[in-house]
Structures are given as C-alpha cells and as structure tokens.
Chains A and B, each alone.
Chain A
C-alpha cells in the first residue's frame, strides 16, 4: 500500500517536471526582445505603441517584443544607461536624439550600416538623419518619433484683439507686437492671459531654434565646437528677457507639461511647443487654433527633436536581427504614417505622405503638414558627450536670465565657460 502510494507520487512528480519541458521544447524558440520607449508628449501614446507591438508580435510568431514604458525622455535615458552599465541592456530602445554621443561613449549602440540599405535611408527626411551618425561616420539609429517646435495661436483671441486670425506673426518683431496686444491683466493687475509663452522644460531646445532663426548654432557636433555665447545667441536671449521681464507679456518660467494645458485653457494666446502635442490640442481645444512655422528673424529656423530607435550592442546576434525586423516594421510608411496621425509627430519618411490615409488626413487637418514643411529650415539637434550637463548649464543661464536674476550676457558667458571646461577633452581637438 505504502509502496504503491509512493510510486504514484513519484510518477506525478516526474510528470510535473517533464510535461512543461516537453511542451516548451515542442514550441519553436521565441526570441524575446525588451523594448524601452518613452512618451515625451501629452496624450495616450503608450496604448498606441502597444497596438503596434501587438500587430508586430501577431505577424511574427517567432519574435516577441515586450514593450516597457519608461516615462519621459530623461528617466528613459537613465534606465537605458543603468541597464547598459549593469550588463543587461534592453534590446531595442528609443532615447532622445541628443543622447547619442553619451551612448557611444558607453559603447551601447550597435552600428546599423550592415542592416540599413541606401534606398531605405534615402527616403527619410535628411534633417532627421543628422542625429543618426557618430563621429566615425557610422549609422547608429533610425528616426522614429520626430518633431520640430511649432507655433500655436488662439484664433479667437486674435479676433478679440483686433488681429487677423489667419495671420500668425512672421517675425520676432511681429511676435512682440502681437503679444503686447494679446496680453490681458485682471482687476488686481495680475496677468490673466499671457500674450505668448515660450515653454519651459525644454526651453534649451526652443532656444536652439531661436538661435538658428538668427543665423547661428549653439554647438557643432561634427566640428566639435560649442558657442553658447555668440552674438546671435545673446540677441535671442535678450529678446526672451524683453518679453518676460520688460514687457511682461510672457511667463518667465513654466514646465513642458503645463504649457499646452495653459494654451487649451486660454491662459496664453500664443505658444511655442512641439508638434508632438498637436493631438492633445486638437482633442482638447474648444476654440479655433492655428499652427505655423515659428516666426523668423534672419530666416525661419528650427532644431529637430524627438527620439530614434537604437539596437543595443551587447546582445546576441539573433536578437539584433529580430530587433532590426521590429525597427523595419515600425518604420514602414504605413506604420510611420499612422504614428504621425495618432501622435502629431512628423512622419519620418517622404513615402508616408503618399499613403492615401495620410494624404486625406493632411488635407483635412493641414496643421499636420506644418512641421514637415518647416523641415527645410531645420538643422540637427545639438548633441555632445555628457549632453545632460551641457543642457543643464544652458537651462540655468536661460532660467536665471528670464527670472531676472542674471544679465543675459553674463549668464551666457558663464555658460560658455562651464561648457568649455566640461567638454575640454572633446571640443578643443
């Protein structure tokens, strides 16, 4: 009796161990990829990404992509870097384009030249590829969620202030003039409605655009030169300080997340922000709004922004091949066009705009074409190793100046000194 019970238990135990193994090996080997992605703009974009991932997984049963939402661009970069340093990098990840030199310094990215063909790359807008090449000339990432800043304005407020609602300001001077007409104070003298808001949070990115509009750049990655205090940059900052401190038509500080809400709530009449919040504004604004190029100074100008797809270097070759298939899926014209429609990011490939749904969409909502058209005036985003610190140095100069705590010239000279010291090993060569 006892022996029989023991034999039964033994048989059950063996089955419990063997059965899952048998089932497991009966299936084909699935390559599992972790995919870190940020959401840098307002909107339910995490669920959109999940939709694409599910479509890919269903179409490719031998690959399983596991999407991991990693917050904003900053936390995403931290998580990627920590994972790389811990020897356990995500297979595919999206980080903000300026982080490329830092990732290259950590040897974290796989070169993609052997995977990407020339015709594939030639379909991307050239401005979007300017942040894809390392100093060794190799390709390290593929554009995915790309944007430029654009200019939003509230047409109802324009009508109310006696301005033509279909004519956004075309120059810095016009911006100033319009803002003075649009700003409103309440009974106690406090500002109830700002004329224009140059959004904080990524105000360094917006500042880069202003400097490009004024005919210069802040940092040249190829030439390894940093010039935060050029005459053009000083003019741009002095313009900002004029708006915030002298004329008081713009708020001195704000956050990236709060300003679209302010715009939608009617608290600011004009807004500099990314095209990526277009869908949020479209869904939430209860008024007529317009989207246009940022006003020009010497010319129109913008710095591109957003995130690109990277493959980690220290993962098995089959993971890299599977990751490349995933990247190709995400960058097909159809998916890239859908992504643009669902998010407000610019579709990264020229072929996207030939996709019939996209053509109809842009015809119905012309604002989706604005950032794309502005690309002809756009340059690559500034990037350098240790970019986060450079960014912090620049933001401090901007914030202290608009806050009235520092003079623009001193702030920028200081920033230039600090940046040169930080990058001295790199920039002087």
Chain B
C-alpha cells in the first residue's frame, strides 16, 4: 500500500534554501580532485610503461602486472605486510580492551592520569617515535638489550637481524597505537548500561564472567570498528619502516606501501608503482569486505 509520499522537490523542507546536494559540492570537488581522480589515473597509468628509460608513457598492457608478480620481492613484501597485520591487530586490541575495562572500573583522578599516560605514545609523531626506538633497539648501547641482559634474557640484534627487525617494528607500532584504541573502547564502555553491572553484583558474577557475558558482547560493534580501522592502518604502515629500517635488512621490513614508495620515488618507475597501487587497493577492499561479512554475524547492538 502506498501512502502519501511527498515528492522530493528542488527546495528543501525548511524553506527556500537550495537543494541539499548543492552543499555537498565543495566536498565533492575536493574528494574528486584529491581522491577519485588520482585513483582512476593510477589505474590508467598502470597499463603504461613510464620510467627513467621511457620519459613519456607508452602503452604496455598488462606488462607491469606480470613484472610485479614475477618479482620475488613483491611476494616477500606481501608476506611482511600480512604478518604485520595478523600479529599487531589482535595484540593491540587485546591490550587496549583490557586496559579500557580496567580503567573503567576505577573512575577518578587516577584514571585520568593513566589515560594520559596510555595515550601519550599516540601523540608522538611517528617519525620521532621511530628515531627514538632506533636508539632503544641499538644492540650494543640500547636500553632494550641493556635491561634484557640484566634480566638474563638472551639479546638479539633487533633492527639488524633479519628475523627480529619486523617484530621490532611491530612492538613500536603496538606501543604507539594501543592508547588510541583504548580511548575508543572507553567510549564504547560508556554505552553499556549501569543496570547490567548491578545485576552482576546482585547475581554474584565475578570480573571475568562479567567481561565475557556483558562487556565483550556489548562492545562488539566497537570492536568491529576497531578491527576495520586497524586493518586499514596496518596495511598503510610506512613511516616506521622508512625511519627505522628503510625496508630493513634484505627487505625483511619492506611493506606494501613502502614498496610502492620505492618504485615511485626511488626507482622512478611510475607504471610499476601504479600497478602495485591498484593491487594494493583491491587487496585491501577484499580483506575489509571479508572481515565485515565475517564479523557482522557476531555483532550485537543490544543484549
């Protein structure tokens, strides 16, 4: 049954103002110029050969893609990026969630102090944080090995060791980002009704039961947000790789975005870099689509 539908007119409901879409034009222009146009142009250029030996773009079909998939460094880079993602996201989420829950239990001035302390690493610019940790991780005179030795733990060469360079960067990344997600979780926790916790006190549920049956399910929408955002961020890791290892001992900390940067601005192979960008975007889209589909089922909006 059709009700009385108002025809959308050129004038808004609030009087003689212009169509709301007109207000969107500035954003659309900027978005078009700085996001959509470069994206489409990258797609276009990825089918051209354009580098130092070919100063004007020359059409070459899928050659760039073939070259990319045939380059062993590409697969190494992909593996590094995936490992980075798979390790840092769960750990960061777990730490930030636990801290948020703990902080939420204890309101007061102590909480504010801890909140500042936890968020502080996020506020440090990534380049500065990277430089700082380069010195902390120095195998001879850095503080990390100094304290490890005191604790009797065997030390490693960290950023100069092919096995440990990527874990080192992961550590810095986790340290840097957990404060941000902790704040997001704290905000999410505010949305959980007090009554539910009071029920727990009455029913005699302990901390872990409360966490499992009330807090976590009701935080699931926040968690989804955190997962998506951290997925996007982790695929874009560039600043730490550039500042700390420049791709690392033998490309062991070379990530997808850093590899694109190398191809574009060190090797000046724009065609190849564009092809890599296209693959990167498609990959990211796929990963996000899959995780959203997978997690939507587990998200509760009310208990």
Binding site for B on A (CB under 8 A): 74, 78, 81-82, 102, 105-106, 188, 190, 200, 251-255, 258, 261-262, 265, 267, 385-386, 388-389, 392, 396, 399-400, 403, 405, 425-426
For residue B154, which residue of chain A has the nearest CB? A188
Tell me if B266 and A396 are in contact (CB < 8 A): no
| Chain A binder among B14-22, B50-58, B225-233 | B50-58
Complex Cα spacing A267 to B246, Å: 23
For residue A79, which residue of chain B has the nearest CB? B265
Complex Cα spacing A269 to B291, Å: 53
- Set B55, B73, B162: member contacting A253, Cβ < 8 A: B162
Complex Cα spacing A258 to B250, Å: 17
Tell me if A78 and B157 are in contact (CB < 8 A): no
Complex Cα spacing A314 to B227, Å: 50
15 residue pairs A–B, Cβ–Cβ below 8 Å: A82-B265, A102-B52, A105-B55, A106-B55, A188-B154, A253-B250, A254-B160, A261-B138, A265-B140, A267-B140, A385-B53, A386-B267, A399-B250, A400-B250, A426-B53
- Docked complex: B243-260 residues within 8 A CB-CB of A: 245-246, 249-251
Tell me if A386 and B268 are in contact (CB < 8 A): yes
Interface size range of chain B in the complex: 20 to 34
Tell me if A399 and B51 are in contact (CB < 8 A): no
For residue B71, which residue of chain A has the nearest CB? A418
Chain A residues near B246 (CB, 8 Å)?
255
| B5 CB-CB contact with A under 8 Å | no
Chain A residues near B268 (CB, 8 Å)?
81, 102, 386, 388
A-B residue pair count with CB separations less than 8 angstroms:
75
Given A190-B155, A200-B160, CB of A403 within 8 Å of CB of B250: yes
B261 to chain A, nearest CB (A): 10
A397 to chain B, nearest CB (A): 9
Tell me if B267 and A251 are in contact (CB < 8 A): no
B12 to chain A, nearest CB (A): 42
A429 to chain B, nearest CB (A): 13
Chain A residues near B262 (CB, 8 Å)?
392
Binding site for A on B (CB under 8 A): 51-53, 55, 73, 134, 138, 140-141, 154-155, 157, 159-162, 245-246, 249-251, 262, 265-269
Tell me if A386 and B52 are in contact (CB < 8 A): yes
- Set B140, B249, B267: member contacting A389, Cβ < 8 A: B267
For residue B52, which residue of chain A has the nearest CB? A386
Complex Cα spacing A389 to B140, Å: 32
Complex Cα spacing A45 to B262, Å: 27
Chain A residues near B155 (CB, 8 Å)?
190
Tell me if B267 and A403 are in contact (CB < 8 A): no
Tell me if A386 and B51 are in contact (CB < 8 A): yes
Tell me if B249 and A403 are in contact (CB < 8 A): yes
Complex Cα spacing A31 to B104, Å: 63
Complex Cα spacing A399 to B162, Å: 9
Chain B residues near A425 (CB, 8 Å)?
53
Chain A residues near B160 (CB, 8 Å)?
200, 251-255, 258
Chain B residues near A253 (CB, 8 Å)?
157, 160-162, 249-250
Tell me if A190 and B266 are in contact (CB < 8 A): no
Tell me if A386 and B162 are in contact (CB < 8 A): no
For residue A268, which residue of chain B has the nearest CB? B140
- Set A265, A385, A386, A399: member contacting B249, Cβ < 8 A: A399
B247 to chain A, nearest CB (A): 9
The listed residue with most B CB atoms (<10 A of its CB), out of A74, A106, A399, is A399
Tell me if B141 and A265 are in contact (CB < 8 A): yes
For residue B51, which residue of chain A has the nearest CB? A386
B179 to chain A, nearest CB (A): 29
A375 to chain B, nearest CB (A): 30
Complex Cα spacing A66 to B98, Å: 53
A99 to chain B, nearest CB (A): 11
Tell me if B73 and A105 are in contact (CB < 8 A): no
Given A392-B267, A396-B73, CB of A105 within 8 Å of CB of B53: yes
Chain B residues near A386 (CB, 8 Å)?
51-53, 267-268
Tell me if A388 and B267 are in contact (CB < 8 A): yes
Given A255-B160, A399-B249, CB of A74 within 8 Å of CB of B138: no
- Set A254, A388, A396: member contacting B251, Cβ < 8 A: A396
B274 to chain A, nearest CB (A): 16
Chain B residues near A188 (CB, 8 Å)?
154
Complex Cα spacing A219 to B194, Å: 73
Chain A residues near B73 (CB, 8 Å)?
396
